[in-house]
Structure 1
Amino acid sequence: MRLVLSSLQWVAFILASTIVVPIVIGEAFGMTSLEISEFLQRTLFVLGIAGLLQVLFGHRLPLMEGPAGLWWGVFIVYAGLVSSGGLTGESALRQLEAGMLISGTLFLIASLFRWIDTIKQLFTPLVTGTYLILLVSQLSGSFIQGILGIDYFTDQVDAKVAVPAIGILIVTILLSKTSIPFIRSYSILISLVAGWLLFYLLGLTKETTKRTDMFSFPEPLAFGIPELSSGMVINAIMTAMLLLTNMIASMKVVEKVISSHSPQSRELDYNRAGVITGINQWLSGLFAAVGNVPLSSTAGFLLTTKTIERLPFIIGNVLVILISFFPVFTSFAANIPTPVGYAVIFITIASLASLGVREYHSLQLTERNLFIISISLMIGIGSLFVPGETLTHLPGVIMALTNNGLILGTLVCILLEQGYRVIDHHKHKK
């Protein structure tokens, strides 16, 4: 019974963390509800396979694969180019397919030449802590807006959506902190089902196009033949580099959570995980899905549910793959109200901030470290407030960096810390 519920909770977490992205991207590109449903189907199929490949052959951690915020951002930027007349929708989507294929190739090269071993040395507690704080900062805006009902029915705060969503959030927090182990372990699953039912009874669920076909294999290259462009090549190179830092950080964070609850420690193979990530990027391109990456938010899920075993995670991903084969279930999953999804996984994201603070706490908070932290957070959080449409005229590399406060702040932290180390090394030499 425990295995079944734990597996279903993984499915609930994966769905709640995933469905928003294809829907938002589909609406940005003007897709029909049927096309969005197919887009979601392909994304779930790829994410399920990606999670299985990693847990069985890659990093071997119960670490969810989800739509990468970086690829999400690139999709939205290209949707902006389409709306401004700079590209046709068909050409933009084909270029995005090509970009994910290029990204996968770069991951394979970096992994096979074992460059990742060198790169992971850069992820000190100072960098990991900064990364986690920035991750929460970057996601917090979307979560607050989602819970308040902004862009659900209207583009304003919607009280009839916000009130029950906030209630679900409070219930989720209370359930996750209860002294009853069973309820605490399955708080996310219980809250998602209860929240969905509440929204249905209140008439707050959206009607979507129902697909009548019983079985459907996700269509390869649904956007068409991949199309190369110089701008996308630059974007893909930059995105691959930044996703590499994301992968390393996610693995380190999840491993720390698992090791704190299990006496067995394991040596992570970052190069092997990089190979699988490259294959997963290829799958995203081949199946016209949203590019994926191991999600750091999994650490918050593990902290909340204490479900650190691999088997429920494996079964959960198998179920997600099976769901993707049946359009009726995919359409049903697409009906999860996004405010409910945001409310249910809010605490898992918020708990990442505590992990970041713990990383800082493990350091000697010298004047130098405090300076690096403050500068990195100022730049990273500040760039979150720069409107994306103001960056579209910039070169691809600069646009990709400036449009992502998480990566920009993390890179600043790495550069400052390594810069000080170089200075110290030269001083000791003298």
Structure 2
Amino acid sequence: MTQQGVTVTIMSSLQWLFFIFANTVVVPISVGAAFQLPSETIEMTIRCSFIFTGIASILQAWIGHRYPLLDSHSGLMWGLMISMGISASALGLDFATVGGGIATGIMLAGAVTILLAAFNMIDIIQKVIKPMVISVYIFLLTFQLIFIFFKGMFKITESGTIDLPVSLFSILIVIFVGFLRIKGGKILGNFSILIGIIVGWAFYRIIFPSDLPTASSSGMAFTFFPLGTPNLDIGIILVSFFAVLLNLTNSFASIQAVADVYKEKVENGQYRRSIFVTGIFACITPIFGLVPFTPFTSTIGFLQSTKLLKRAPFIIGGSLFILLGVIPPLGRFLGTIPLTIGNAVLFVAYLQLFGTALNSLKGTFFNSETIFRLAGPVLVGVSIMNIPPASFGSIPVLLQPFIANGLIMGVIISIFLEKLIDWNKLSSKLEIRQ
């Protein structure tokens, strides 16, 4: 390999490292806060999160679907676990009981997922998760992530108002990264995410030195099942079990979307191997209090932004991420990256995901009737996302995590619409009528 090739590989690996870090670090922190875990235990979950995210991503790229596709905490399960943790008192249960029920449901779903892959029953899933369901999922995931990163760009003061200087700085970073991506040429454009994080981090230290987060120095307390020991609370188990299986939609959507980037056709074996790895980690993650893993559809936006499609930098970046968990000072140092900067850079990266959603509809014809198969679930899902979760307080507590989650409800509506209505037949009748 030439010196230039080595340099590109190193920079690409670092860009992957920052991307993985920015998408991962907030998850164990927020879940730990929802279940009121002590800081020492939260540090343990963060380090375990880094180690297992790196391992899962490398395994998927090596023997799973074999694409450079981040495998990290499921956004769907992340929101569900936080919601159930916050609702523990409303359920009349303590945190350990709720967390233990979640652990049981996730591990049972992981076992079922392993069996589906091991006995080659992928076609059962594919009969439920049809192409339009995947399109609906990608659209809703795009909106959900953009909402999160857009809000995260703006720092909110203690009085509940926007911190104008910090927020304007975030907007400048968005413009800067977007300009690099569009006008920066091959080199600057491909490394726009890495450059944006480094430049934003450096200038933030200069402009807002008193506002910079400090590295934690607390000790770590290792424990198995930190959220709660597995139990047989049927209601919580069923909610968690169903949500993990519904999360397989993400696996199919992600693998299909990344294959489109490579202009390749996905083989059944790729789905099977990937889902098998996902099932294995679903059985492991509850032991360490982690949100179960899934291939990240949002990685597609990163790949399209950077044009870095080789596996080697991804595997190196995943290996470096494992080191962040093994060597605590490294993880603590990266933990000083301002969240507003990370959100601003990821906001630009994930704008590409909207294009992925549009491309998933290529070849699909819509008219005034058939548009309901897309518009119905997507717009209902987005509408639910914009309703405060507290507004669903009158709904039975165990149903709230589903009803209040726009992504889950949109996908469920899409599944029912695809099963109950023959859209191709309806389209043909309309064409004849016209």
TM-score by length of 2: 0.88
2:310 matched residue in structure 1: 309
Question: Structure 1 CA distance, aligned partners of 2:146 and 2:55?
Answer: 28
Amino acid at match of 1:72: W
Partner of 2:371: 370
User: What's the offset of the Cα at 1:353?
Assistant: 1.0
- The runs of at least 4 aligned residues of structure 1 exceeding 4 Å deviation read 121-125, 390-397
| Deviation of 1:173 (Å) | 0.8
Name structure 2 gaps, 5 residues minimum: 1-6, 430-434
Whether contact under 8 Å (1:6, 1:312) holds in the other structure is yes
Residue identity in the other structure for 2:120: R
Tell me: CA distance 1:118–1:191, structure 2 relative to 1, closer, same or farther (3 Å).
same
**Within 5 A, what are the aligned runs for 1:159-238?**
159-201=164-206, 202-203=208-209, 204-211=211-218, 220-223=224-227, 225-238=229-242
Distance 2:235 2:393 in 1: 11
Could you tell me which amino acid in structure 2 is paired with residue 100 of structure 1? Answer: I
1:336-359 CA-to-partner distances (Å, cap 9, x unmatched) read 221111111112222111121222
> Matched residues in 1 for 2:212 and 2:224: separation?
31
1:130: how far off? 2.2
1:181 aligned partner, one-letter code:
K
**What letter is aligned with 2:214?**
E
Equivalent residue of 2:66, what SS?
Answer: coil
Structure 1 unaligned blocks of 5 or more: none
Report SS of the residue matched to 1:367: coil
Structure 1 letter corresponding to 2:155: G
- Tell me which amino acid in the other structure corresponds to 1:89: F
Could you tell me which amino acid in structure 1 is paired with residue 31 of structure 2?
Answer: I
Normalised to the residue count of structure 1, the TM-score between the two structures is 0.89
SS class of match (1:293): strand
| Alpha-carbon distance between aligned partners in 2 of 1:255 and 1:280, rounded to the nearest angstrom | 23
3-state secondary structure, aligned to 1:308: coil
Distance 2:42 2:62 in 1: 30
Q: Confirm whether residue 67 of structure 1 aligns to residue 73 of structure 2.
A: yes
Deviation (angstroms), 1:146: 0.6
The RMSD of aligned alpha carbons is: 2.7
Secondary structure in 1 matching 2:361 = helix
1:35 lines up with 2:36 in the alignment: no
Equivalence map 1:340-355=2 (5 Å): 340-355=341-356
Inter-partner Cα distance in structure 1 for 2:174 and 2:153:
9
For structure 1, which segment, 340-349 or 385-394, has the greater mean C-alpha deviation from structure 2 after superposition? 385-394
SS at the partner of 2:290? coil
Partners of 1:85 and 1:133 lie apart in 2 by: 32
Q: 1:97 to 1:114 in 2, by over 3 A?
A: same
Pair 1:390–1:340, CA change in 2 (3 A): same
Assess if the C-alpha contact under 8 Å between 2:155 and 2:163 holds in 1: yes
Pick closer, same or farther for the CA change 1:197–1:86 going to 2, 3 Å: farther
* Contact 2:236-2:398 at 8 Å conserved across structures: no
Q: How many residue pairs align between the two structures?
A: 419
1:126 matched to which residue of 2?
Answer: 132
SS in 2 for 1:360: coil
SS at match of 1:210: coil
Q: Describe the shift of the 1:39–1:83 C-alpha distance in structure 2 as closer, same or farther (beyond 3 A).
A: farther
What secondary structure is seen at the aligned counterpart in 1 of 2:72? strand
Query: Which position in structure 2 is the counterpart of 1:358?
Result: 359
Q: What secondary structure does 1:177 align onto?
A: helix
Kindly, what percent of the aligned residue pairs are identical? 29
From the superposition, tell whether residues 360 and 397 of structure 1 become closer, same or farther in structure 2 (CA, over 3 Å): farther
